[in-house]
Amino acid sequence: MTSDTKNGRVVTGRFQPARWLRNPHAQTMLPSMPFAWRSRPPLRRETLELPDGDVTAVDWLAASDALPDSAPLLVILHGLEGSAESSYARMLLEAAYERGWKSCVLHFRDCGDYTNRLPRRYHAGETNDLRHFLNSLQGHREACGNAGPLLASGFSLGGNVLLKYLGESKNDTPLASAVAISVPLDLHICAEALDTGFSRVYRRHLLKRMKNAIRGKFDEHTAAFNWQRAMQAPTFAEFDDAVTAPLHGFAGKQDYYDRCSAKHFLRDIERPTLVINALDDPFMTPEVVPPEAALSPDVLIEVSESGGHVGFVSGGLPWRPEFYLPGRILEFLEPHAAVSGQ
């Protein structure tokens, strides 16, 4: 994949980085800095009971409760160890509200400031919780006050979950349209990319958070996996082989990555879907971008030269940056916000 692809369903993205922020690691890290997006809109927490007896959390933008029942509803899926407090989620919640849309963040199990019940967490291929939530919204539209079109956006791991769900569901989904950002379309490639160069800094940071999270749920006597191996895992691949796979019913990391990489589901998507990735994303390599033959006619992939991982800082000033993603996400979804997902 090169950046000069200009026609078809894999195209060059329009994003241009801020003149003062062209480095991919700076693009990746700046949005998470406290000063980059100071706004913390009030949220309303809702507990979502799941069919297997577990529970997760949905955070709704409180201000959007006053919008008409017919307003579009944007469901946001966060990334690895993220939550509704992640800067990309907060800025998209607010951008959707400014457009007159309702919005919420569906948390993956054991993410955010709550604890799920069952001895498990989440993974890149867990689509049942999203399916249950969307079907619940669709089945109780009048009672829930959400009768407008349903739309979705997923970031990083959340983008992988969203694309896999769309491919599995084909035409059987209440979603009218979707956007996925910085998606690890091939989990094998992405795990390897995080073992090289400066990307190992992200790997160490995220692995530390993941290990702390499982310490909060298990100990060496209650874990349904090899505790010592999990705590000593130096890479994502080894952690997934030691923890993610056995905890969620996979034979190992190879089985997990093979069955859950979103690239295998792109051909079956039947809703207008945009994928935005950057060639300099330190969480992956350009090889994750699939050929057009692997895509359904409803999938468009925009690949930018730069942007980092869920960065896409387009301008402003270092202490008051401007971001490309909220506007581009809503721009793509807008034509589908006036139609039902039926």
The catalytic site residues sit at 156, 281, 309
**Can you tell me the distance from the alpha carbon of 247 to that of 241, in angstroms, rounded to the nearest whole number?**
10
Tokens 């379309």: give the residue.
Answer: 185
**Can you tell me the distance from the alpha carbon of 36 to that of 105, in angstroms, rounded to the nearest whole number?**
20
Tokens 């799920």: give the residue.
Answer: 116
Alpha carbon distances (Å) from 313 to 28, 306, 310, 320: 9, 10, 9, 10
Tokens of 189: 């490639």
Tokens of 329: 């996400």
Tokens of 182: 């910085």
The CA-CA-CA angle for residues 302, 305, 308, to 5°, reads: 90
Please answer whether residues 74 and 152 qualify as being in contact, where contact means their C-beta atoms are separated by less than 8 angstroms: yes
Q: Strand, coil or helix: what is 177? A: strand
One-letter amino acid of 214: I
Helix (H) or strand (E) run with residue 301 in it? strand 299-304
Q: CB neighbours of 139 closer than 8 A, spacing ≥ 6?
A: none
Tokens of 300: 């468009």
Please answer whether residues 282 and 129 qualify as being in contact, where contact means their C-beta atoms are separated by less than 8 angstroms: no
What does 39-51 look like in DSSP terms, one character per residue?
----EEEEEEE-T
User: Which residues share a beta bridge with 59?
Assistant: 45, 105
The CA-CA-CA angle for residues 4, 10, 13, to 5°, reads: 60
Alpha carbon distances (Å) from 119 to 216, 219, 324: 11, 11, 38
**Can you tell me the distance from the alpha carbon of 105 to that of 158, in angstroms, rounded to the nearest whole number?**
11
